[in-house]
Every structure is written in structure tokens, then in C-alpha cells.
């Protein structure tokens, strides 16, 4: 059985998912991976990964729309910025251990905008409300056919080695002692 192309797979997707996925196919070609539910491109444009999804997410800010395309970059977000970023835009996702940040929206331009504003929050250039206000301004400027620098491209350089493995608190001795305690109770513990 031959593998199906992403452009064939999305024919069975709902329109709210199909149209954004087609925009990615038009720009980057057929995906590197394709399932019935996801299309994935690796290392295209500025992105570590782009994921188009059959499942869409209703998002009412700044206006009602469907989030269907996620763009991922390597980026270390300090823990103290997780809440401000979540307050800025619920479709910006930060992953501490893997050192990734992503935005999920209708298209790549909106994801550029969201991630650039996330970067402004992390670097102290904007607070959460200023980022939300600027996002609205840029969306309106796009409709007015005015310049939209935050939508055009990423304004920061994604960094490799951005993961944060945290700090270990258990020693080998702690684990061995716990195993011995379990063995004394007639139970076996594996980790």
C-alpha cells in the first residue's frame, strides 16, 4: 500500500482545517509526515516543525476563528514568564523540558505575530496587556494593508540547546534506599 500525500488526506478534513493546511502545502510542499489527523513538516522556513491538524480549536481572541496550524521553534522561556504568556494568548504553548515554544493559529503569519510578542514579553519589551494591544493593532493593520512587521517573520533567532532539564533532587542512594524499604515490605519497585 502506498503512502498518501498530505494534499490527498486533507480532502477529507473539515474546511476549517483543510484551508489552513493547504496554505502550508502551497508554501512548503508535501509534508514530511502525514497521518489521517496530522501533517508535519520539519525544518521549513524559520520553524523547527509545522503541524497542521484535522482537529481545530475554537479561539475567540482577538476575533472568533479556528486554530489549526502550529509552528514550533526552539526557545527557552524562563518559568516566571509562563503565566504572563498564557495570559497574553492561550494559543502560545511553552514546553520547558524540551525547550520549545509554539503558536497555534490559522496561519503562519499569525503564529509569527504571537511568537514575536511572546519574545517581547520574555525580554521585557512589552507586558501582557501591551502585547495583547499590539496584536490587535497588527491584525487591524493587516486588514488596512499597512505594514505588519511582527507578522512578516520572526524577529528573534531561535536557539538550539534551549531545553531546561531542571535539577535532580533524588540521588542513586535515595532510590536504592527506597527499593530496600520496598523489598522489606515484600514489594518490588522499578524505575
Residue 187 confidence (pLDDT) above 80: no
Sheet containing 92-95: order of strands: 33-34, 38-44, 47-59, 65-74, 100-105, 92-95
Burial of residue 111, with CB atoms counted within 10 A of its CB: 0-12 exposed, 13-18 middle, 19 or more buried:
buried
Confidence of residue 188 (pLDDT cuts 50, 70, 90): low
Taking a C-beta distance cutoff of 8 angstroms, is the pair 101, 73 a contact?
yes
| Phi, psi for residue 58 in degrees, rounded to 5 | -70, 130
3-state secondary structure 99-128: CEEEEEECCHHHHHHHHHHHHHHHCCCCCH
Q: pTM for this one?
A: 0.90
Compute the distance between CA of residue 179 and CA of residue 187 in angstroms, rounded to an integer.
9
Tens-place pLDDT, residues 24-75:
999 999 999 999 999 999 999 999 999 999 999 999 999 999 999 999 999 9
Per-residue confidence band for 4, with pLDDT thresholds at 50, 70 and 90: confident
Indicate the length of the chain as a whole number: 191
Q: Which 3 state secondary structure label does DSSP give 42?
A: strand
Residues contacting 107, CB < 8 A, separation 6+: 20, 23, 69
Backbone angles phi, psi at 92, to 5 degrees: -95, 125
Annotated domain spans of the chain:
6-184
Name beta bridge partners: 84. Answer: none
Amino acid at each position: 500500500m502506498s503512502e498518501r500525500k498530505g494534499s490527498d488526506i486533507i480532502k477529507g478534513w473539515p474546511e476549517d482545517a483543510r484551508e489552513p493546511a493547504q496554505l502550508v502545502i502551497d508554501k512548503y510542499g508535501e509534508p514530511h509526515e502525514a497521518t489521517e489527523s496530522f501533517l508535519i513538516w520539519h525544518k521549513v522556513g524559520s520553524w523547527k516543525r509545522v503541524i497542521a491538524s484535522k482537529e481545530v480549536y475554537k479561539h475567540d481572541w482577538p476575533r472568533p476563528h479556528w486554530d489549526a496550524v502550529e509552528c514550533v521553534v526552539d526557545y527557552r522561556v524562563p518559568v516566571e514568564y509562563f503565566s504572563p504568556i498564557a495570559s497574553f494568548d492561550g494559543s502560545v504553548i511553552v514546553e520547558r523540558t524540551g525547550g520549545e515554544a509554539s503558536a497555534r493559529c490559522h496561519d503562519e503569519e499569525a503564529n509569527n505575530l504571537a511568537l514575536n510578542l511572546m519574545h517581547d514579553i520574555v525580554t521585557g519589551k512589552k507586558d501582557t496587556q501591551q502585547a495583547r494591544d499590539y496584536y490587535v493593532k497588527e491584525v487591524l493593520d493587516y486588514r488596512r494593508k499597512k505594514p505588519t512587521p511582527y507578522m512578516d517573520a520572526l524577529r528573534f533567532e531561535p536557539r538550539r540547546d534551549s531545553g531546561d532539564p531542571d535539577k535532580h533532587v533524588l540521588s542513586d542512594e535515595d532510590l536504592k534506599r527506597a527499593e530496600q524499604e520496598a523489598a522489606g515490605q515484600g514489594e518490588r519497585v522499578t524505575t
